[in-house]
Amino acid sequence: KNQVEQSPQSLIILEGKNCTLQCNYTVSPFSNLRWYKQDTGRGPVSLTIMTFSENTKSNGRYTATLDADTKQSSLHITASQLSDSASYICVVRERTGANNLFFGTGTRLTVIP
């Protein structure tokens, strides 16, 4: 069973609208959680990183939240743009070891005009 689950699998929204992507994880002990944006045919690019003590972190129109007690994170995109169309991948890092990254399968977001 994947230790990082993302929902929804895919999402279509109108340009200018807001949306929220979800990430639930079971990884323990927890170190940090990152959201990556992956454009089609490109490598993933880091959007935010959150540690245990952080609840909210923003990067422009992207706002990530983390509830370490319930092991849930969300990525909120405000005033969506066509360029936001991409896959958004949640990556959770375990506190021990070096290759201890757990990847979600991503949410495919399509923004339409």
Partner 1 sequence: GAGVSQSPSNKVTEKGKDVELRCDPISGHTALYWYRQSLGQGLEFLIYFQGNSAPDKSGLPSDRFSAERTGGSVSTLTIQRTQQEDSAVYLCASSLETGAGNTIYFGEGSWLTVV
Q: How many residues bind partner 1 (CB under 8 A)?
A: 22
23 near partner 1, judged by CB under 8 A: no
Which residue is associated with the tokens 């990847």?
Answer: 103
Alpha-carbon span 36 to 18, nearest angstrom = 18
CB of 97 to partner 1, least distance (A): 8
Range 3-22, binding partner 1 (CB under 8 A): 4
Range 75-104, binding partner 1 (CB under 8 A): 89, 93, 95, 98-99, 101, 103-104
Closer to partner 1 by Cβ: residue 19 or 90 = 90
Binding string to partner 1 for residues 44 to 63, with x set by CB under 8 A, is what? xxx--x--------------
Closest by CA to 36, choosing from 112, 101, 111, 100, is: 101
Alpha-carbon span 88 to 47, nearest angstrom = 9
Closest by CA to 20, choosing from 8, 32, 4, is: 8
Alpha-carbon span 73 to 65, nearest angstrom = 5
Closer to partner 1 by Cβ: residue 86 or 104 = 104
Strand, coil or helix: what is 7? strand
Which residues contact partner 1 (rule: CB under 8 A)? 2, 4, 31-32, 36, 41-46, 49, 89, 93, 95, 98-99, 101, 103-106
